[in-house]
Amino acid sequence: MEGGTKMSVMTMVQAINNAMDIKLAEDSNVVIYGEDVGYEGGVFRVTEGLQQKYGENRVFDSPLAESAIVGTAVGMAIAGLRPIVELQFDGFTYPAFNQIVSHAARMHNRTRGKFKTPMVIRFPYGGGINALEHHSESPEATYGHIPGLKVVIPSTPHDAKGLLISAIESDDTIIFMEPKRIYRAIKQEVSTEKFSIPIGKAKVVTPGTDITVVAYGAMIREVQKAMVMAKEAGISVELIDLRTIYPIDRETIAQSIQKTGRVLTVAESPTSFGVGAEIMAIANEEAFLYLEAPPRRVNGFDTIIPLAKGEHFYMQTPEKIFYEIERTVRF
């Protein structure tokens, strides 16, 4: 117990489960469904035990039909429920793309504010687990580009719980992307009580003076490893965890670049037309006169992420990140 708050060591899977447990207990309008999320507790066991606790009317399995899962959630949300749907993998969100883009994202605007779609679309994303095709995609820029959606990515168990509670309570449609690579790789003390973290606000993880590095999800841990190398080289890195892809926290990013004069972005997605390009635009628009080096990106290649044998050629490593940090600072 810390300061009167009950704490428990949790993985990200446990923290997400705890957030949904709290909201199911608190709000009878919250329902959870998706493929295997009921009896089995989901492909990664994120919803484990919730059907046993809240019953088959609140937590239930769906047919293998992603478009139907999201489409029915739109109807439920309009009718007053707060559905949380799980799509098993990032690449399986594409069959539901039309329902997400054409209906969930547009309903509030289409009805001139008469109907809202308060729903959360959860799915694991990213590479690093040697998975099959469609199991390692990083589509945050795709969904961040669509008006009407908010896109959230946590990087720690604590943030996953606080951000998910905010997402469930939001009246908007939230795309909640969970970095599967660190589902169980990180353990952290997390309050067992209810708390929330604002959507749209980035976090300065580590203050620094020589360069700003903006990352999110599983890449935060890789950047922190690179920062050890940077420190040995005498470079002070300011690390920002974006937490929310859209709406992006322009103010925190701009203030940091104005302080350090340099910026590097790190992500798992393909390089072109990504979140890194948006951050470069912020640097150009908000901090151009402060820049001492060209902004740079560390991303994957503009290709489909390779299968297991070739995946390591695609993924970002601490060595690769440190190389670009040093290259930018020594410019």
Q: Active-site positions?
A: 135
Nearest alpha carbon to residue 267 among 237, 298, 306, 312: 298
Task: For residues 72 and 68, give the distance between their C-alpha atoms in angstroms, rounded to a whole number.
Answer: 6
Cis peptide, bond prior to residue 124, ω within 30 of zero: no
Question: 54 with 45: CB under 8 angstroms?
Answer: no
Q: Which DSSP symbol is given to 22?
A: H
Coil, strand or helix at 248: coil
Task: For residues 91 and 135, give the distance between their C-alpha atoms in angstroms, rounded to a whole number.
Answer: 6
Task: For residues 314 and 322, give the distance between their C-alpha atoms in angstroms, rounded to a whole number.
Answer: 16
Contacts of 55 (CB under 8 A, 6+ apart): none
**Number of alpha carbons in the 13 Å side-chain half-sphere of residue 255:** 10
Q: Which DSSP symbol is given to 305?
A: P
